[in-house]
Structure 1
Amino acid sequence: MNTITRIAVHLVILLTFAITQGQETKVDSTQKASNSLKIETLKNLKSKIETEEREFLKAEIEAINQRLDDGKITAAEAEDLKKEAAKKRALNIENRLAIIDNKIALLERNNTDYSNNDNDGSYVISIGGNNEYGDEFIFIGNKNKRKPKKYDRRTTTDIVFAFGFNNALIEGESIDDSPYKIGGSGFVELGYAWKTRIFDNTNFWRLKYGFSFQWNKLDIKDNNYLVNTDGDITLEEFPLDLKKAKFRTTNLVFPVHLEFGPSKKIEKENYFRYSTYKKLKVGLGGYAGLNIGSMQKLKYKEDDKRVKDKQRGGYEVSEFVYGVSGYVALGGVALYVKYDLNPLFKDQVIDQNNISVGVRFDMD
């Protein structure tokens, strides 16, 4: 190897070493910044621990007091349970702070990412706790800390979904003479409901209330369609061959039902709940709200061209909507009926009132 070659090899080695050292320095710098951020997060968490444990203790004492009021434990037993709960929470604070201090010391002493080695890259620190209260985890970062269960939860929420057959009861006519098809006419309802137990010591009577969007559709028979003639809404024959003629209203309503039926009481040491799972439920009530839209949809052919005509508004639909409704359910599935007391079209010689029968699902 000549002199020039040896010099070139030495330069390559020196350059490679310099690049490697620079990369290592960059990695170390990035890791230090990452560790510093984690240390700051852990320090901030320490200030929240005592508040969190006090919340848990408060919930436990509330549950103990409720058991005392219900006559399930004596005053002496209640006092002992409170002392045990306070002692447990004090130890939890001590242990949780020690865990965090050790984690901080580990990060301050090393440049490597120990969180991956400990299988806690998301920085979830687990400690022993009361599973019924769900307080056995501390969550850091984007995680939400778990909160203790309430001893008694009187109000629950449901998503309400219903669908089925829809039609109109016309004054002086039977449902068999309806100008709207039974099979093609339908309704859909989607809403949100709250259910509140009315009495303290029984769940037999409940009040269910909320809001819903209702879509009521009528499939018009015999090549007819709806026509507005100076405010008079009538069905007339369409001049061409109709493939489809449908009329739909969209309502925003606020239902209220008195629900009743048996339930099962589930009692735990620190809370209790009532369950209506697989229990018979009956709901009777009504609704009131506003019409927020109406549309007639026509499909036909003209000059061998397919035409879809959507006519929105202009049908003298009642703006204020109100009616009665009820359901009979087993668990979360119910037979559902609703009937509009307001006429579908206002100021008409003959009233038409919307009626719906279908299936309703109340999903917790």
Structure 2
Amino acid sequence: MKNQLKINTRMKSFFTLLLCLTIAPAMAFNGDTKDPKQDTVIIELNNNSKIVIVTKSRADLATLENYDINQMIKDLNAQLSDSVEYMEISEGKAYVNEDDEIEMKDWKINEDEVRIKLGGVEVDVDPDEMDDWDEDDWSERKKVTYEAERADRTTHHFNIDLGMNNWLEDGNFPDANNAPYSVKPFGSWYVGLNSVNRTWVGGPLFLEWGMGISWYNWKLEDADYIIQEGADRVEFNATPPEISGQKSKLTASYINATVVPMFDFSRGRQKITSIESGGLKIKKYSRKGFRFGVGGYAGYRIGSHTKFKFKEDGGKEKDKERDNFFLENFRYGLRAQVGWKGVELFATYDLNEVFSSGRGPLNGDGENAALNAITFGITL
């Protein structure tokens, strides 16, 4: 909805308030109405003041019951001064009554402000105004709540995946057989930093695609095993009795490309809560409704290392080694996402093995263990 308020104060004795609330699309407001008289209501307040309401149809007038006209006038009067000859607010402000809170949409950032956006939270700071800000100002904060429709065909955002890693051997977790390469889920963290585009295809169908960097961390269940690169394969070797293992893990980082078709039954609608106090503005974006999707990804390894923390002769030691450990350079697999309102969960499964073919660790039968990475967690 586009709203435009104009005030002309060229003559001190004359005050005309022109309030144009356009319910129609922008083209209709710019002169595409067939008969302006049919779409215009003029309210004479006194000899010098009037309100003009322009709508697309008579039925649209009913929606004005949801707007706080008094608050519009108060805000405009607060901004006027004797030196003002002409003022136009055309960034799209809307005032909607909702639990005694005033909704203000589409506030615009100034050139000297700093904007930080992470996941569903956006923070804007005006350094000039923050110089005089104190905690008492927070008690006078203005809270804003409203819903926003999907506006653009493609939108961009940045998110963080936080999860836990493990690997599967023939569909089972290795700890079922007490294998030396069994992974301890808590502490085997997965972190992904993603730049994501969201393109509306049609109806509830969206396409999420982008690039990112991720880190696998596989922390061994038994820290008395050390991960080493052998002559032909990666090895998980027991430490000597005089060494007490504290932590043993393998870390690998990848650069990835991801494409996930998503069915979003709220069709991109978002609930936006904004809090403003002085030079500080905080916006929180929460998606509406249920959504899910399944897609694919591919990645290339850009680094890997092992870390082994242990005690020897009463002292703490740490050994860190960088090598490839027969890790497969390419990875590819499936990614599933499911969300409900502000909660977004994900799971990934590598279709190819973590280690190069025939280069993985030996299992209890002395055969190569084919391990596939699996991850699940939450997206911020």
The normalised TM-score by structure 1 is 0.57
Instruction: Determine if contact 2:268/2:288 at 8 Å carries over to the other structure.
Output: no
2:246 and 2:313 mapped to 1: Cα distance?
Answer: 14
Instruction: Determine if contact 1:327/1:334 at 8 Å carries over to the other structure.
Output: yes
User: Which residue of structure 1 aligns with residue 212 of structure 2?
Assistant: 212
Computing the radius of gyration over CA atoms, which structure comes out larger, 1 or 2? 1
1:207 and 1:254 mapped to 2: Cα distance?
Answer: 13
Alpha carbons of 1:152 and 1:320: their partners in 2 closer, same or farther (altered >3 Å)?
Answer: same
Superposition deviation, residue 184 in structure 1: 2.9
Instruction: Determine if contact 2:248/2:306 at 8 Å carries over to the other structure.
Output: yes
Give the alignment of 1:168-317 within 5 angstroms.
168-171=167-170, 173-175=172-174, 176-177=176-177, 179-199=182-202, 202=203, 204-222=204-222, 223-239=224-240, 240-263=243-266, 277-317=287-327
Alpha carbons of 1:134 and 1:143: their partners in 2 closer, same or farther (altered >3 Å)?
Answer: farther
Superposition deviation, residue 172 in structure 1: 7.3
User: Which residue of structure 1 aligns with residue 356 of structure 2?
Assistant: 346
Greater fraction of residues in helix? 1
Q: Deviations over 1:189-233 (max 9, x none)?
A: 22121101002xx3x000001112211111113311222212311
Read off the aligned partner of 1:226 and give its amino acid letter: I
2:292 and 2:234 mapped to 1: Cα distance?
Answer: 37
1:151 and 1:314 mapped to 2: Cα distance?
Answer: 45
Partner of 1:250: helix, strand, or coil? strand
Instruction: Determine if contact 2:225/2:237 at 8 Å carries over to the other structure.
Output: yes
Among 333, 344, 353, the alignment partner of 1:323 is 333
Instruction: Determine if contact 1:323/1:341 at 8 Å carries over to the other structure.
Output: yes
Read off the aligned partner of 1:325 and give its amino acid letter: R
Q: Which runs of 5+ in 1 are unaligned?
A: 1-59, 86-98, 104-124, 267-274
Instruction: Determine if contact 2:346/2:379 at 8 Å carries over to the other structure.
Output: yes
1:150 and 1:236 mapped to 2: Cα distance?
Answer: 57
Superposition deviation, residue 302 in structure 1: 2.6
Alpha carbons of 1:155 and 1:182: their partners in 2 closer, same or farther (altered >3 Å)?
Answer: same
Instruction: Determine if contact 1:216/1:249 at 8 Å carries over to the other structure.
Output: yes
Read off the aligned partner of 2:211 and give its amino acid letter: F
Q: Deviations over 1:145-195 (max 9, x none)?
A: xxxx99941112222222222101124754533511232322122212110
Superposition deviation, residue 243 in structure 1: 1.1
Instruction: Determine if contact 1:126/1:138 at 8 Å carries over to the other structure.
Output: no
User: Which residue of structure 2 aligns with residue 119 of structure 1?
Assistant: none
Instruction: Determine if contact 2:256/2:299 at 8 Å carries over to the other structure.
Output: yes
2:154 and 2:201 mapped to 1: Cα distance?
Answer: 10
Partner of 1:334: helix, strand, or coil? strand
Give the alignment of 1:4-23 within 5 angstroms.
none
RMSD between aligned alpha carbons?
A: 4.2
Give the alignment of 1:38-57 within 5 angstroms.
none
Alpha carbons of 1:195 and 1:291: their partners in 2 closer, same or farther (altered >3 Å)?
Answer: same
Read off the aligned partner of 1:256 and give its amino acid letter: V
1:184 and 1:290 mapped to 2: Cα distance?
Answer: 24
1:286 and 1:258 mapped to 2: Cα distance?
Answer: 9
Instruction: Determine if contact 1:192/1:212 at 8 Å carries over to the other structure.
Output: yes
1:136 and 1:304 mapped to 2: Cα distance?
Answer: 61
Alpha carbons of 1:215 and 1:77: their partners in 2 closer, same or farther (altered >3 Å)?
Answer: farther
Give the alignment of 1:82-97 within 5 angstroms.
none
User: Which residue of structure 2 aligns with residue 355 of structure 1?
Assistant: 374
Superposition deviation, residue 138 in structure 1: 12
Greater fraction of residues in strand? 2
Give the alignment of 1:71-82 within 5 angstroms.
76=34
Partner of 2:311: helix, strand, or coil? strand
User: Which residue of structure 2 aligns with residue 337 of structure 1?
Assistant: 347
Instruction: Determine if contact 2:327/2:355 at 8 Å carries over to the other structure.
Output: yes
Say yes or no: does 1:167 pair with 2:166.
Answer: yes
Aligned-pair identity in percent equals: 25
Partner of 2:93: helix, strand, or coil? coil
Alpha carbons of 1:66 and 1:338: their partners in 2 closer, same or farther (altered >3 Å)?
Answer: farther
Alpha carbons of 1:63 and 1:187: their partners in 2 closer, same or farther (altered >3 Å)?
Answer: same
Partner of 1:254: helix, strand, or coil? strand
Among 74, 93, 97, the alignment partner of 1:131 is 93
Read off the aligned partner of 1:218 and give its amino acid letter: W
Superposition deviation, residue 79 in structure 1: 12
Read off the aligned partner of 2:237 and give its amino acid letter: E
Instruction: Determine if contact 2:149/2:268 at 8 Å carries over to the other structure.
Output: no
Partner of 1:358: helix, strand, or coil? strand
Superposition deviation, residue 303 in structure 1: 3.1
The normalised TM-score by structure 2 is 0.55
Superposition deviation, residue 252 in structure 1: 1.2
